[in-house]
Chain A
Amino acid sequence: MKSATRTPIGNSMTDKQQDTIDFGYQQVAKADKQKLVANVFQSVAQKYDLMNDLMSFGIHRLWKRYTIDCSGVRAGMRVLDIAGGTGDLTEQFARRVGASGEVVLADINDAMLAVGRDKLRNRGIVGNVRYVQANAEELPFADDSFDIITIAFGLRNVTDKQKALESMFRVLKPGGRLLVLEFSKPQPPLLSQAYDFYSFNVLPKMGQLVAGDADSYQYLAESIRMHPDQETLKSMMEQAGYAEVSYHNLTGGIVAMHRGYKF
């Protein structure tokens, strides 16, 4: 991963006057964040699944499974999996929507998209999946196109999260739902301390050892801390137009699943 110029920042997530934004704990020009995030994922794409299993002790599979269970997916539905990466959610959705439905795996990063496409094809997931390289802030789909939209562990990497939530709202069908699965703020103080220690001391070393890239996993830990907490994200979704927004903490709030509807 290429390093960005480090500039210490306060708690604010964006500084519109300076047109800068957080990239982990660094403050970078808004225009650069997309490229920097792309570098991170370009670097970790090949080892992404393995690292997910190692870092979360496999629990990420249960978090994703919970998201799918809460999605109310049925045969024949159209699903958009944004920042779908290596296709964990897409694979499950594709099996559930069947031949009469469709899943669009969208990711801004071509390396992640290629890994996801190869993995799904090797597993026989063909026919009802489309692969689209797309920016979540400007989704290249018609209004009211999807029954379900998911974004799992992707929103924190988006430069303008509010704009992305609004873009998703636009392409969601009336009656459809958005599910955001993302790292959040652990609730029990003791868990929070242990999680901090693990994130900043163990994760980068694990990244160095397995993926040969400590910086990307340092960014992961920092970007999680800079991501809006449960209530803030809920407010952002409501501001974007979603109704009946609720969230559910998973594993003590390390991860939260937000759900909102378009009516």
Chain B
Amino acid sequence: MLWAMLPTSLLETLLQQLLLLDPESQARLRKLDGKRLRLTLDDVGKAITISVNQQGLWLSWFDQEPVDCAIRSRLAVLPELREAANITRLIKADMLDIEGDPMLAQALSKLFAELDIDWPEQLAMRLGDVPAQLLVQTWQRSRQWLQQQRSDQRQWLRDALIEEQQLLPSTAEFSLFRSDVQALRARIDRLERQLSGWKG
């Protein structure tokens, strides 16, 4: 149990550090000051409480105090909560149970979704200008290459499908072919019956 706190502490520190890297986080945290959310994950069988104040956010597996919003769900369902439109559907499907302020989870998710971190500047502060510049250029080139690869793959798939489509029969042609096959099968059946009559 004690060791389970280690990853939680590390995650908490990581989230705190990420928030510190964006000066706008302060204003976003101020809006959520004092709010508390408890997330119970059925697949994990435990509840984690997230408390927010102007200094950051805190995670705890052992907090049992009242919260502003309590959510019970499964790990796989969590990404869907980012869209407000999904909430009603998930509740109706018994995949989500919410008590309290349902908008709090989205506000918390926004806290990180809206993070705008100036990575080149952050790297330059830690590594120096030249290594940071090299790292950023390598990253940008890699990203461009990956994007190009992805775009090429998509294009190839699109072309292949279009060319293939030209060779594929239309619905009407397939329907005609199917009725021809059925007619042929009926004729064969008739012939079989005639043949067996002659033999008899």
Contact = CB atoms under 8 A, between A and B. Distances in A.
Interface of A: 59, 62-63, 65-66, 68-70, 72, 74-76, 95-99, 250-251
B51 A69 contact: no
Given A74-B65, A75-B34, 20 more contacts: A59-B2, A62-B6, A62-B9, A65-B5, A65-B9, A66-B2, A69-B5, A72-B65, A74-B36, A75-B33, A75-B51, A95-B55, A96-B51, A96-B53, A96-B58, A98-B33, A98-B34, A98-B53, A98-B55, A250-B2
Contacts of B54: 98-99
Contacts of A74: 34, 36, 51, 65
Interface residues of B, number: 20
Contacts, number: 48
Nearest to A99: B54
Is the contact region of chain B dominated by helix, strand, or loop, or is it mixed? loop
A251 B55 contact: no
B63 interface: yes
Contacts of B5: 62, 65-66, 69
B37 to A, nearest CB: 13
Contacts of A69: 5, 60-63
A75 B54 CA distance: 9
Contacts of B53: 75, 96-98
A29 B33 CA distance: 51
Interface string B29-45: 00001101000000000
A74 B9 CA distance: 18
Given A59-B2, A62-B3, A72 B63 contact: yes
A72 B2 contact: no
A175 to B, nearest CB: 11
B61 to A, nearest CB: 7
Contacts of A62: 2-3, 5-6, 9
Contacts of A99: 54
Is the contact region of chain A dominated by helix, strand, or loop, or is it mixed? helix
B191 to A, nearest CB: 83
29 contacts: A62-B2, A62-B3, A62-B6, A65-B5, A66-B2, A66-B5, A66-B62, A69-B5, A69-B60, A69-B61, A69-B62, A69-B63, A70-B62, A70-B63, A72-B65, A74-B34, A74-B65, A75-B33, A75-B34, A75-B51, A76-B34, A95-B55, A95-B56, A95-B58, A96-B58, A97-B53, A98-B54, A98-B55, A99-B54
B64 interface: yes
Contacts of B51: 74-75, 96
A231 to B, nearest CB: 21
A70 B2 CA distance: 12
A81 B1 CA distance: 25
A59 B5 CA distance: 11
Contacts of B9: 62, 65
A75 B60 CA distance: 15
B64 A72 contact: yes
Contacts of A75: 33-34, 51, 53
- Which of A66, A69, A74 has its CB near the most chain B CB atoms (within 10 A)? A69
Contacts of A97: 53
A63 B2 CA distance: 8
A35 to B, nearest CB: 36
A212 B33 CA distance: 46
- Which of B3, B60, B64, B65 has its CB near the most chain A CB atoms (within 10 A)? B60
B132 to A, nearest CB: 25
A166 B46 CA distance: 35
Contacts of B33: 75, 98
A62 B61 CA distance: 13
B2 A251 contact: yes
Contacts of A65: 5, 9
Interface in B49-87: 51, 53-56, 58, 60-65
